[in-house]
Structure 1
Amino acid sequence: MLKGRAAPGSSAASVQGFQALTLWGNHLRQTIELTLRLTMRDFEARYRGSVLGLGWAFLTPLLTALIFTFVFSSVFRARWGTGQDGTDANFTLVLLVGVLTHAMLAETLSRAAGLILAHSSYVKKVVFPLGILPIVVVLGAMITAAFGFLIVLLGHLVYSGHIEATAPLFILIIIPYLLLLLATAYVLSALGVYLRDIGQIVAFIITASMFLTPIFYPISSVPPAFRAVMLLNPLTTVVEESRNVLLFGRAPDWQALAFLWLGALVSFPAAVWVFNRLRVGFADVL
């Protein structure tokens, strides 16, 4: 055999491997395009026919924060401080960060519970990847919240005259949060097919999580005995660290952030596995 000449078998294997890789790449591209198309169609459908249209994406979180600000700062006399110089922080922006973070959770939970039931016609379509539906829900919640977080940045710029140098670190907080939301969406959407009571349970969880997370009050005001328990809530970490990097100019708590990432990286593949195991019986139940 001449040196440098590849064996026929290895050449055929290389061609087959390249073809398989190409097919996988095309499938991935088509899935991403379908996911983005469904996400944009879902987002546009929310404001289709309304007078203000996309303006509601800005107006809704702002009005919500203003109402809560009046109730909790004027009526209940809640006060916030930066923890640095004792001055008052802009309560509306502080509150808005918490409201937006919880809104992402609320939208994901409320829609995921009946997601497969609402798209039952897709279940028996072999070519339709059901796994993208939870992704569409979470992406929709993220896009809506993005408008609100833009208001936070612009408001802080007007209020303080600058954007905090720590603001880019927000990406390290939002990514694991999105993975946790995706994990929740996968599990709830699958369980919702078999357990129709999931919707009622989710409604209670949404309300409870709003008051058991430091959204309307600082974590420092919680008694130490309860604070330790509250810190086990991933939403607490997301809210607190988002405020730190976006409004207070503080670096995040790296230990808390590491636990958040660990929980996300463990929960997400486990949730996908659960979804794939349960989806086998979707057609029989529906």
Structure 2
Amino acid sequence: MGILQLFKDLLKNDIKNRYTGSILGLAWSIIHPLSSLLIYYFVFSVILKMKIGNEYADVSFTFWLMAGILPWFLFSEALSRSTNIVLDNSSIIKKMVFPAQILPFVMFSSALINHLITVILFIIGLYTFNPSAVNMNLLLFPVYLVPLFLLTTGLSMITASLNVFLRDIGQFIGILINVWFYMTPIIYPISAVPEEFREVLVWNPMYSIIEGYRMLFFKAELVDINSLLYTSLISVILFALGYALFSKLKKSFADVL
């Protein structure tokens, strides 16, 4: 069996297994981010009266919030599910000789399908309320998707390989994702952060991706090129480290599983 065919089969099985027996099926890929959006909107907009700031003064808080949640959900879903991917596929790994590195790629691709569906619905909603916001600049979408892919799969290969030997990694990653979420200007604008802490948040590689999504949707512009280059560099480094670590440790997977 070729690698591409194996990848397709694993992806098909993952999608099928996730929604088997579910009445709503693929609709859950929309319900999850939408429910989170409603909760954050109610807490931060209705109760706390959070303001976006002058930079996005003409943008609805709901759309601004959703634009930030979209890439984060792709990142967090793929990373959290990939952490246990080797353990979940232990029977295949012990029986077959194949490049197990494709497993985190399968998880990212599965999450990406949900992401693209949600993005399309978001664009439709955005066009309904503000037709001028939808333009050809949206074709630059891959500029942010590529570093997001490298960052996510790189970290996924690191956590998935280490989790085989240190099962606490699977528990720790949930805490890490929660902390990372609140350390990223997703539900609050960076203008709300004291100036002495802003520089720290800017070094967060997810910041330029999330800000990039917002600028693409609401300003038809690219994020600061230096910020994008920094995130791309970090993403490439983590991807290379993750691939190297996974390739080295996978030789011992069958002995531990």
**TM-score of Structure 1 vs Structure 2, range by shorter chain:** over 0.9
Q: Does 1:256 align with 2:227?
A: yes
Which residue of the partner structure matches residue 228 of structure 1?
199
What do you get for the CA RMSD once the two structures are aligned? 1.8
Q: Counterparts of 2:193 and 2:204 in 1: how far apart (Å)?
A: 14
Q: Does 1:31 align with 2:3?
A: yes
Which residue of the partner structure matches residue 157 of structure 1?
127
Which residue of the partner structure matches residue 55 of structure 2?
83
**2:78–2:111 CA contact under 8 A, matched in 1:** yes
Aligned residues with identical type, % of pairs: 33
**1:164–1:247 CA contact under 8 A, matched in 2:** no
Letter in 2 for 1:282: F
Q: Counterparts of 1:44 and 1:222 in 2: how far apart (Å)?
A: 42
Gap regions ≥5 residues in structure 2: none
Deviation at 1:156, TM superposition (A): 1.2
Letter in 1 for 2:36: T
**1:62–1:148 CA contact under 8 A, matched in 2:** no
SS at 2:171's partner residue? helix
**2:208–2:223 CA contact under 8 A, matched in 1:** no
Which of 198, 201, 219 is the aligned partner of 2:190?
219
**2:215–2:221 CA contact under 8 A, matched in 1:** yes
Which residue of the partner structure matches residue 77 of structure 2?
107
1:164–1:224: structure 2 CA closer, same or farther, 3 Å change rule?
Answer: farther
Which residue of the partner structure matches residue 68 of structure 1?
40
Q: Does 1:124 align with 2:94?
A: yes
Which residue of the partner structure matches residue 134 of structure 1?
104
Deviations 1:192-215 (A, max 9, x none): 011011022111111111111111
Deviation at 1:229, TM superposition (A): 0.6
Deviation at 1:82, TM superposition (A): 5.8
**2:208–2:228 CA contact under 8 A, matched in 1:** yes
How many residues were matched structurally? 256
Instruction: Please show how residues 174-189 of structure 1 align to structure 2 within 5 Å.
Output: 174-189=145-160
Q: Does 1:238 align with 2:238?
A: no
Q: Counterparts of 1:69 and 1:254 in 2: how far apart (Å)?
A: 30
Q: Counterparts of 1:112 and 1:53 in 2: how far apart (Å)?
A: 21
Runs of 4+ deviating beyond 3 Å? none
1:251–1:114: structure 2 CA closer, same or farther, 3 Å change rule?
Answer: closer
Which residue of the partner structure matches residue 166 of structure 2?
195
Deviation at 1:168, TM superposition (A): 1.7
Deviations 1:146-170 (A, max 9, x none): 1221122111111112304432222
Q: Counterparts of 2:11 and 2:233 in 1: how far apart (Å)?
A: 27
Q: Counterparts of 2:254 and 2:202 in 1: how far apart (Å)?
A: 40
Deviations 1:195-242 (A, max 9, x none): 011022111111111111111111122112111111111111111111
SS at 1:127's partner residue? coil
Q: Which moved more, 1:72-81 or 1:46-55?
A: 46-55
Deviation at 1:68, TM superposition (A): 1.6
Letter in 2 for 1:76: L
Q: Does 1:270 align with 2:241?
A: yes
Choose 1 or 2 for highest CA Rg.
1
Q: Which has the higher contact order (CA 8 A, sep 6+)?
A: 2
Q: Counterparts of 1:262 and 1:59 in 2: how far apart (Å)?
A: 34
**1:219–1:227 CA contact under 8 A, matched in 2:** yes
Q: Counterparts of 1:134 and 1:143 in 2: how far apart (Å)?
A: 14
Gap regions ≥5 residues in structure 1: 1-26
**2:53–2:191 CA contact under 8 A, matched in 1:** no
